[in-house]
Amino acid sequence: MIMEAQQTTSQKLDLINKIQHLGVCYQFQKEIEATLQHIFEAFDEFNVEEDDNNLYTVSLGFRLLRQEGYPISSNVFEKFKNTQGKFKESLINNVQAMLSLYEASHLRVHGEKILEEALIFTISHLQSMLPNLSSPLRTEVSEALRQPFHKRIRRLEAKRYISIYEVDETHDPMLLKFAKLDFNMLQKLHQRELGILTRWWKDLDVSKNFPFARDRLVEGYFWTMGIYFEPQYSLARKFFLKVIAMSSIIDDIYDVYGTPNELQLFTDAIERWDATATNKLPDYMKVCYIALLDVYVEMEKELTETGKLYRIDYAKTEMKNLARTYLKEDKWFRDRYFPKFEEYMKLATETCGVRMLTITSLVGMQEDFVTKDVFYSMSKGPLIVQAVSVVCRLMDDIAGHEFEQQRGHAASSVECYMNQYKTSKEDTYIELQEQVINAWKDTNQECLNALVPMPILTRVLNFSRVMDSIYSDGDSYTHSKTKLKGFITSLLVDPVL
């Protein structure tokens, strides 16, 4: 269907859009890439041919191309403006077109005034239209205003959209059936993986050995699925989840339990990365330390015959860096040191672990494009890693700062900003949320530069998607019996019927 020559460009874009929403685009990656490449090369002619009123298709084409890293210009929207430089009022009569433009505006980069205007224009009119719309369109608009497609976790979107697509009278029965089968088969795979990993976790006996720590294996697996859900990444998921699970315990050791002396010993042991370094550690740290080393030993065994052991070296280096930054953060807290906002962010974007987790997420990926050069590039903390770190840190701080202060946690970005600039909590939230928006623009820009293969950039981008879903209205990781429980049930318990 994707490669069908008789289909118009508009029909092909619409089909690719539905396939993406249904979560099956990974099955047709080559066909989609070939189609989008052709559309990109001919987009100027396509845009001229399109009726001036066909804002829907131009917006959709723009979004789909930018999503895949094609540097398409936002000037394609100029023709939808009137002589006063405003978007034409006649556009507001088409809800689908307005929704498509709204979704496209979230792919904007710095300096794209027309897309900033498009966002304001569409939000205003979609909000005013909402009470008069009937379902399922009303649901679609409401969901988009809450969270645009660009920021959604792809598995959650597939589950949600299948139910929307099913009641659409124009749906293709074969495509719907395919999407349902695909979702349920993947769910079975994910259940089996989680079952195996749960046995590993139970052997670690977290509640007994680390009663102070958050027991979050399943939540960590949900996060892992947000980074990559596709069947070919089973090994990568196993490595990634084990490191996430261990780093969550380590985070809590530094945050809420270890004494200054113990934390120094623990950091030194991680620096040495040697089983004999357990001699001076208290019992609970010994258990954690040996379990951590075992995870990387398992990685080495898996990769020994592939000639890719260099990946483990990069992964270990990042874990050592993370431990050092955790220790520094703890010293700030013990010394009651109140850093300036910029100083805080420099450390806190390290302690959020995005660079460490980015490197780790690549270790088990087996494609040829995951090269030594890619590991080197990512280890240098490129702009996309910095930007996603900002999104993760600020969203986490905004969502959890009051709870963290009650728990006796170190000052977060909220306190540092309020203290330095003498602002109210509400004004601080607004400023930090603006910084999150700017970090998304940086991320979008990096995806257009294509210095690293797009599938790798997508992994990094997916961190921001996970954070947007978990932290957009509260800390659902720490308080996981909230909406996160519903997400996990939807993806790992309830099949599509």
| Residue 454 burial (C-beta neighbours within 10 Å; 0-12, 13-18, 19+) | middle
Do residues 333 and 348 make contact, with C-beta atoms less than 8 angstroms apart?
no
Q: So what's the pLDDT on residue 407?
A: 52
Phi, psi of 307 (to 5 degrees): 75, 25
Residue type, 116: E
Q: So what's the pLDDT on residue 403?
A: 56
- Enter the tokens of residue 456: 């790798």
Tokens 């990634």 locate to: 240
| Whole-number Å distance between alpha carbons of 354 and 433 | 19
Q: So what's the pLDDT on residue 136?
A: 85
Angle CA 229–232–234, to nearest 5: 65
How many C-beta neighbours within 10 Å does residue 436 have? Answer: 19
Phi, psi of 234 (to 5 degrees): -60, -45
| Whole-number Å distance between alpha carbons of 133 and 117 | 24
Q: How far apart are the first and last CA of the chain?
A: 25
How many C-beta neighbours within 10 Å does residue 393 have? Answer: 27
Do residues 149 and 156 make contact, with C-beta atoms less than 8 angstroms apart?
no
| Whole-number Å distance between alpha carbons of 485 and 491 | 10
Alpha helices in 280-340 (DSSP H): 283-303, 310-334
Considering only CA atoms, which of 467, 347, 475, 350 is closest in space to residue 405? 475
Q: So what's the pLDDT on residue 49?
A: 60
Residues in the chain predicted with pLDDT less than 70, given as ranges, are 46-53, 401-410, 473-481
HEC-encoded secondary structure of 47-89: HHHCCCCCHHHHHHHHHHHHHCCCCCCHHHHHHHECCCCCECH
- Enter the tokens of residue 241: 């989840």
| Whole-number Å distance between alpha carbons of 152 and 154 | 6
Name the DSSP letter for residue 451.
S
13 alpha-carbon distance from chain centroid: 24
| Whole-number Å distance between alpha carbons of 61 and 13 | 6
Do residues 441 and 202 make contact, with C-beta atoms less than 8 angstroms apart?
no
Do residues 246 and 298 make contact, with C-beta atoms less than 8 angstroms apart?
no
How many C-beta neighbours within 10 Å does residue 497 have? Answer: 8
Q: So what's the pLDDT on residue 476?
A: 47
The three-state secondary structure class of 472 is strand
Count helices and strands in the chain by DSSP H and E runs: 23, 0
| Whole-number Å distance between alpha carbons of 388 and 468 | 11
Residue type, 445: Q
